[in-house]
Structure 1
């Protein structure tokens, strides 16, 4: 019982750390896409579906989308796992608005 409680507490603490790190990475997106991914003007908002956002980020990173934006440079600075966590953060942020 004590071991299970300790494991749950450690998992919860780890989840908070992951959340904070993803939020810090996502802060670089805010200048163009807004803090919750709901940009204004001509810049596309970041969608609510984490898988779609992740796929788009990978396409930018791998030069599979037109190079008309700075997204290619931004995405190359992150690992695939980090991009997945950023996509998950924006999906959560979008769903909470």
Structure 2
């Protein structure tokens, strides 16, 4: 396993540990925490959510729209979706809300 990937997994594990222990989720999500979570999104959706190609951009959508889509993926309500439902099932409500806001805040940059 490449060292960068190993470090990302370690960082994510440390980030999510308080959440698994039952700590209030939203209180744990600082900007740098959300940026770690958003790092998994930019692998496909591009830097700051600006995708080039077939995968949709996240940038240019409001937080409400993104939140609705992320929740729909988690609930298996998006026909034909393959990867996103699996990914969203790994996030709690506070994390999904934080991600929607993170990418909505990137709008116009």
Q: TM-score range by the shorter chain?
A: 0.7 to 0.9
Q: Once superposed, what is the RMSD of the aligned Cα atoms?
A: 1.7
Q: Which residue, out of 50, 55, 61, partners 1:38?
A: 50
Runs of 5+ consecutive residues of structure 1 not aligned to the other structure: 1-14
Q: Is the contact between residue 48 and residue 92 of structure 1 (CA under 8 Å) also seen in structure 2?
A: no
Q: Does 1:48 align with 2:71?
A: no
Pick closer, same or farther for the CA change 1:31–1:51 going to 2, 3 Å: same
Which structure has the greater CA radius of gyration?
1
Runs of 5+ consecutive residues of structure 2 not aligned to the other structure: 1-26
Moved over 4 A (4+): none
**Structure 1 residue aligned with 2:37:** 25
What TM-score do the two structures reach when normalised by structure 1?
0.76
Q: Is the contact between residue 34 and residue 98 of structure 2 (CA under 8 Å) also seen in structure 1?
A: yes
